[in-house]
Amino acid sequence: MWSSSVQLGSELSIAGISAKDLAKEFGTPTFFIDEADFRARALAWNEALQAAFGDKAGTVYYASKAFTCTEVGRWIKDLGIGIDVSTGGEMAVALAAGIDPKKIEVHGNNKSVAEIEKAISVGVETIVIDSMYEIERVAAAAAKAGKVQRVLLRLTPGIQAHTHESISTAHEDVKFGFSISSGAAWTAITAVHGHSSLELRGFHAHIGSQIFGFESFEILAERFVAFLAKYRDEFKKELPELDLGGGYGIAYLESEETVDPFEAMKVLATAVKKHCAAFNLQIPKVSIEPGRAIVGPTMFTLYEVGTVKDVTLENGSHRRYISVDGGMSDNIRPSLYGAEYTTIIANRTSSAKKVSSRLVGKHCETGDIIIREIDLPEDIVPGDLLAVPATGAYGRSMASNYNHVPRPSVVAVKDGKARVIVRRESIEDLLALDI
């Protein structure tokens, strides 16, 4: 839930720097990212993949949609892993960071012709195709460039992952991929084979996000290996790659436990090897795409309390509303998914009695709620600092300017030093787009 460099004593500190000092220097709200922890988590997933699959280990593609900027891209480059991008903007960030295009995987259900042509022109090794239209677009762009483009087909394996509906992405009624059961996947295979400018390398799936159990991943391995066998039987050759996506869950609350990468990869490798043996198939190279699992716990958001208000409910009970200087513009997940978080007082300790509280933002929305129900000390007052852990995934990346609130900065902390890696927006930034 908290990164490894966070200490929770008389006041919160990260890498030896106190929350009060961070707030004084960088203001609030601010996302603080633990650089050492980010690097360690990324390496752990890479090491786990290597340990489980050996010479059949593919690439760990960091899912940049969780959070990206050029500095994080430089860390990815340094670590030698890959990066998954789904828009021209994410690809531009990866390239600006100096990541080798051969380490970039291009994704998305509606890639523009310009995005496809850019990917091919810079030498992106793998493009994940998501529709029949994309087959034609990628084939045409590759032919125009005089290249043979390596592609994966994103398939829908018909798995209902045990997670929120909005982040469950592999059942039949979704916008992503080609359905195996309907025959769309086989039609796509045939279409790809009709283009000399495309080289089909294998299949891709992403079954959802924030998944804790491994059963869905085991089913995915079984169905994909069976489909590889069907391909082998039809075309008399084996496809060499599978990308089994990400979705590994992290702890947002004390009652939750972050998925262990070595345990997850062991389960996945066992399933893949078992089913390959059953179908007399060679084990393909297996790649994965952790995003939240790497960046989520590495970051926390620091807020300042603005107002405290007690309200009497219809049943006569009381609830305290604690308003902070951010809200749904820097963390839309509670409003969007019903996501749950926790928080602590970051600038001091308190022995005061705890009262039923709701942590809310400053936006003109009743639904602008960060934490719906939490017991917090009754002596919280304006000026106190509150830290919300595990906001690295989809906090800053989904941030908006709702109510014309400038988006917060991101500050990297390492070895007792802190530096801005994404600056805070200003009112001038907001006005600069107006004509």
Q: What is the set of active-site residues? A: 364
| CA 170 to the chain's CA centroid | 16
Contacts of 411 (CB under 8 A, 6+ apart): 22, 26, 30, 31, 32, 33, 418, 419, 420, 421
Q: Which own/partner pairs from 119-122 qualify as long-range (CB within 8 Å, at least 24 positions apart)?
A: 119/91, 120/145, 120/147, 120/149, 121/145, 122/95
Q: By C-alpha distance, which of 161, 210, 245, 158 is closest to 338?
A: 210
Cβ neighbours of 318 (radius 10 Å): 10
Give me the helix-helix angle, 113-122 and 88-96, nearest 10°: 20
Give kind and range of the element (H or E) at residue 241. strand 241-243
Question: Contact 122/94 with Cβ under 8 angstroms?
Answer: no
Tokens matching residue 134: 């994309």
Q: β-pairing, 354-360 with 369-377?
A: antiparallel
**12-14 vs 17-18, strand pairing mode:** antiparallel
Checking phi first, is residue 74 left (phi over 0); if not, alpha (psi -120 to 50) or beta?
alpha
Whole-angstrom Cα Rg for the chain: 23
DSSP designation for 169: -
Among 247, 242, 314, residue whose Cα is nearest residue 281: 242
Reduced to 3 states (helix: H, G, I; strand: E, B; else coil), residue 21 is helix
Kindly report the three-state secondary structure assignment for every residue of 301-353: EEEEEEEEEEEECCCCCEEEEEEECCCCCCCCHHHHHCCCCCCEECCCCCCCC
